[in-house]
């Protein structure tokens, strides 16, 4: 089954969205078009599923040591019913829209051997070696995947292991048909996914999957007269610009994100966690301070969903380095951080330094 990141040791399918377990949401999504529902559960959870989902589930069987072994166990449990078709759905996809399930079913009814819902890849891609990849040649694969029962049984009898059932059908020379998936059909992998899935399903945040909290952060530093002082913003050094006064490297963007994250979690502010009277932080990298703050927040059960920052300065222009700054901040914070720049528009007081405002959304215990 797997767990949800730092959300604890409870398997992700047993966490709740809107008071209902992720597994039950997933089962209900496919039960409407199914004559029988088989749940494959890890050891220690079989009886729990049998008692809690008796009205929805036909059989609960123990899984295997691999995903493929678990799917094979489910297929074997279904074989005595002699079905014509089978849908294989990842229980960690509770937000699958009924239209996706219907497209898969309709394609099977039209004679397809194997059916896979897919979505376009919207992110830019690079190979592990760093080479750009043409994303138009790829799609994201979702579930439920549908199969002619005899075809998928033959594919599993042929052996092999795969993260995607249709891959086994392709390996034995079968034909795989694709139908449109849906971006809302996300897979719950890390803690914030529970909150996102709940929102996509039109449900209010629940204490079962964590509290959604927003935090605001602000930081400002004056320009330094020290010619050796470097300007650091978002972990990027701007070598031709004057630096800012500060106990650390005076990275106002990182500082504002730290403040916002701590505010959301109710854990004080940057001055409490990293006081400017502590010699350990003199000249410190603020990106490293952000990384340390994020780790402490994770240990307390908090995870960032996203942060947005507004930096106020006339020069230097930050647009050329924005992507690098966003990468630095996102990696340190453990979630997506975006930046936009604004000019002072001639307001003298604002031009005496650099300011940054940050807003953060987090999920916590």
- Which residues make beta-bridge pairs with 217? 358
| Burial grade of 328 (CB within 10 A; 0-12, 13-18, 19 or more) | buried
Return phi, psi of residue 168, to 5°. Answer: -70, -35
Return phi, psi of residue 23, to 5°. Answer: -60, -45
Tell me which of 178, 200, 222 is where a domain ends: 200
38 and 78 in contact (C-beta within 8 Å)? yes
Is 272 contained in some domain?
Answer: yes
CA distance 38 to 271: 54
Tell me which of 171, 200, 229 is where a domain ends: 200
Is 91 contained in some domain?
Answer: yes
- Domain check: are 29 and 174 in the same one? yes
Q: For residue 13, which of 55, 42, 47 has the smallest C-alpha distance?
A: 42
Distances (CA, A) of 290 to 62, 230, 269, 322: 43, 19, 12, 18
- Domain check: are 97 and 49 in the same one? yes
- Domain check: are 285 and 187 in the same one? no
Cβ within 8 Å of residue 319, ≥6 positions away: 341
- Domain check: are 189 and 216 in the same one? no
CA distance 155 to 166: 9
- Domain check: are 180 and 57 in the same one? yes
- Domain check: are 254 and 187 in the same one? no
Is 225 contained in some domain?
Answer: yes
- Domain check: are 245 and 98 in the same one? no
- Domain check: are 292 and 222 in the same one? yes
- Domain check: are 64 and 164 in the same one? yes
SS3 state of residue 138: coil
Is 206 contained in some domain?
Answer: no
Output the domain CATH number for residue 141. Answer: 3.90.550.10
305 and 342 in contact (C-beta within 8 Å)? no
Predicted pLDDT of residue 192: 73
Output the domain CATH number for residue 317. Answer: 3.30.1330.50
Return phi, psi of residue 358, to 5°. Answer: -130, 140
- Domain check: are 160 and 220 in the same one? no
| Burial grade of 340 (CB within 10 A; 0-12, 13-18, 19 or more) | exposed
Tell me which of 141, 172, 200 is where a domain ends: 200
Predicted pLDDT of residue 186: 93
Is 205 contained in some domain?
Answer: no
Predicted pLDDT of residue 200: 81
- CB under 8 A, 24+ apart: contacts of 278-281: 281/247, 281/248
- Domain check: are 39 and 188 in the same one? yes
Predicted pLDDT of residue 5: 41
CA distance 195 to 204: 9
The Cα angle at residue 330 between residues 240 and 283, in degrees rounded to 5: 50
Is 97 contained in some domain?
Answer: yes
| Burial grade of 208 (CB within 10 A; 0-12, 13-18, 19 or more) | middle
- Domain check: are 106 and 176 in the same one? yes
Is 327 contained in some domain?
Answer: yes
Quote the number of domains for the chain: 2
192 and 336 in contact (C-beta within 8 Å)? no
Is 163 contained in some domain?
Answer: yes
> Tens-digit pLDDT profile for the chain (365 aa)?
443 443 344 677 777 776 678 888 888 888 878 888 888 887 766 766 665 656 667 788 888 888 888 999 999 999 999 999 999 999 999 999 999 999 999 999 999 999 999 999 888 888 888 888 898 899 999 999 999 999 999 999 987 777 789 999 999 999 999 999 999 999 998 777 877 887 788 765 544 445 789 999 999 999 999 999 999 999 999 998 999 999 999 999 999 999 999 999 999 999 999 998 999 999 999 999 999 999 999 888 888 889 999 999 999 999 999 999 999 999 899 888 999 999 988 787 677 899 999 999 998 76
Distances (CA, A) of 227 to 96, 238, 239, 240: 58, 13, 11, 11
Residue 356: which domain range?
211-364
């Amino acid at each position: 089954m797997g767990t949800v990141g730092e959300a604890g040791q409870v398997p992700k399918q047993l966490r709740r969205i809107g008071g209902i377990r992720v597994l039950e949401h997933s089962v209900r999504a496919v039960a409407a078009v199914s004559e029988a529902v088989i749940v494959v559960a890890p050891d220690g959870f079989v009886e729990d599923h049998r008692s809690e989902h008796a009205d929805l589930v036909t059989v609960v069987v123990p899984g295997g040591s691999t995903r493929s072994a678990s799917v094979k166990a489910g297929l074997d449990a279904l074989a005595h019913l002699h079905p014509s078709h089978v849908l294989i759905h990842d229980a960690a996809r509770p937000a699958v829209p009924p239209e996706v399930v219907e497209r898969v079913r309709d394609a099977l009814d039209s004679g397809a051997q194997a059916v896979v819902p897919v979505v376009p890849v919207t992110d830019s891609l690079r190979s592990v070696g760093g080479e750009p990849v043409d994303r138009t040649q790829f799609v994201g694969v979702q579930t439920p995947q549908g199969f002619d029962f005899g075809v998928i049984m033959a594919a599993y009898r042929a052996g092999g292991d795969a993260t995607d059932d249709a891959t086994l059908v392709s390996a034995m020379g079968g034909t795989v048909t694709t139908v449109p998936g849906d971006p809302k059909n996300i897979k719950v992998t890390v803690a914030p996914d529970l909150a996102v899935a709940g929102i996509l399903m039109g449900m209010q945040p629940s204490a079962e999957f964590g509290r959604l909290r927003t935090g605001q952060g602000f930081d400002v530093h004056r320009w330094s007269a020290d010619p050796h002082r470097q300007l650091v913003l978002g972990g990027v050094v701007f070598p031709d610009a004057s630096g800012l006064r500060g106990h650390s490297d005076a990275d106002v963007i990182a500082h504002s994100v730290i403040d916002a994250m701590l505010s959301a979690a109710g854990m004080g502010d940057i001055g409490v966690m990293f006081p400017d009277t502590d010699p350990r932080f003199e000249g410190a990298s603020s990106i490293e301070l952000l990384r340390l703050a994020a780790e402490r927040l994770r240990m307390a059960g908090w995870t960032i969903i996203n942060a947005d920052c507004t930096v106020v300065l006339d020069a230097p222009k930050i647009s050329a380095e924005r992507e690098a700054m966003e990468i630095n901040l996102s990696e340190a914070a453990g979630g997506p951080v975006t930046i936009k720049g604004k000019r002072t528009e001639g307001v003298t007081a604002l031009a005496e330094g650099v300011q940054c405002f940050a807003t953060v959304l987090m999920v916590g215990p």
